[in-house]
Amino acid sequence: MIARRAFALSLAFLLGGCSGIQSALGRDGRHGEIFGGLFAIFLAVTLFVYLIVIAFLLAGIFRRRGKRQDGLPDEEGESREASLRKGLIGWAAFIALGLSVLTVASFVADRLMAQASGPDPLRIQIVAHQWWWEVRYEDADPSRTFRTANELHLPVGVPVQITLMSNDVIHSFWVPNLAGKQDLIPGRTTQIALHPTREGVYRGQCAEYCGLQHARMALDVTVEPVAAFRTWRTQQLLPAPLPRTPLQQAGLRYVETRECGACHSIVGTRASGQVAPDLTHLASRRTIGAGTYPMSRGHLYAWVADPQSAKPGNRMPHIPLEPDQLHAIVAYLETLR
């Protein structure tokens, strides 16, 4: 049993190299590297302590106990009170020493993490809502700021400073492959630094229980080369492309005249609502509904036709649409690249 668990834990540790898209063991950012090192130290020390305890326990259970000369069990036994007392003192000292090592290691790791972000970081602001992430890329030039939702694109090797706020309840920002978590607390502003070091596609998820759809509040993170990031950023700054086919044009009309535009905004159109995710480049995202569905035509149909089915309780109401309206809207949304 013990061996199995020890094995399981060390297995988890070894898995670190090939972890998934949402793993605390992923060493895909500076913080992850420090975390991995610190976790290894803790694992080694605690496993060592554990083995000592188990060895002592087994010794206590299986120790051969003395018999008297006449073969009867020794009633008094040989008391080892004094040696046990020494053992106790040694044990306490050993624990104190071990804890000191771990405390110092933890403190050092914490300082290293605080310094892991560099100068002149990419600045992003995230506002959490029940149950999605509003992302705003900041820039000294206001015309170069833009909004997106439920996705982050980050240039590899560039420090990132994210300002975190909440619009309603407490949420927690957590992209485990890149760094630990940071709560978003209404009425407060918090910060988190990231420093991705490896390209890849990751997933973050709200880590503080925030109500009904806490489970479906994910964030797609793409860490890409600086050039690709620049391209993406330039793309995001553009207004939505104009619809070309009559069907797409009809879709835009419905989006502007039906309920959609009251909550969602699409830059370059009359849809300018601010309470729901920005849709300007919706079709370029990986998922719909904060990670509820992968992005695809079928899922767009499913989401627009009945947003309450896959993510019951989310704030997007069911809007009864005629089939031709639905076709048109989805056709238009697909152009939002």
Closest to another protein by CB, 113 or 266: 113
Q: Where in 276-335 is the site for another protein (CB under 8 A)?
A: 291, 312-313
Site string for another protein, 109-148 (x = CB under 8 A): xx--xx---------------x------------------
How far apart CA 32 and CA 174 sit, in angstroms, is 12
Stretch that binds another protein, among 16-24, 139-147, 263-271, 272-280 (CB under 8 A): 16-24
Residue choice 10, 106, 115, 308 for contact with another protein (CB under 8 A):
106
Query: To the nearest whole angstrom, how small is the minimum distance from the Cβ of residue 318 to another protein?
Result: 17
Q: Where in 162-191 is the site for another protein (CB under 8 A)?
A: 168-170, 172, 174, 176, 179-183, 185-188, 190-191
Stretch that binds another protein, among 83-91, 118-126, 246-254, 258-266 (CB under 8 A): 83-91
How far apart CA 68 and CA 196 sit, in angstroms, is 69
**φ, ψ for residue 192, nearest 5 deg:** -140, 145
Query: To the nearest whole angstrom, how small is the minimum distance from the Cβ of residue 308 to another protein?
Result: 11
Site string for another protein, 42-61 (x = CB under 8 A): xx--xx-xx--xx-xx-xxx
How many residues interact with another protein (rule CB under 8 A)? 94
- The answer to the question of residue 67 lying near another protein (CB under 8 A) is no
SS3 content of the chain, % helix, strand, coil (to 5): 45, 20, 40
Cβ–Cβ under 8 Å, residues 321 and 304: yes
Residue 317 C-beta-side C-alpha neighbours within 13 Å: 10
What single-letter DSSP state applies at residue 118?
Answer: -
- Grouping H, G, I as helix, E, B as strand and the rest as coil, residue 152 is strand
Residue 310 contacts by C-beta under 8 Å, 6 or more apart in sequence?
216, 289, 292, 293, 302, 303
Q: Where in 195-214 is the site for another protein (CB under 8 A)?
A: 203, 205-214
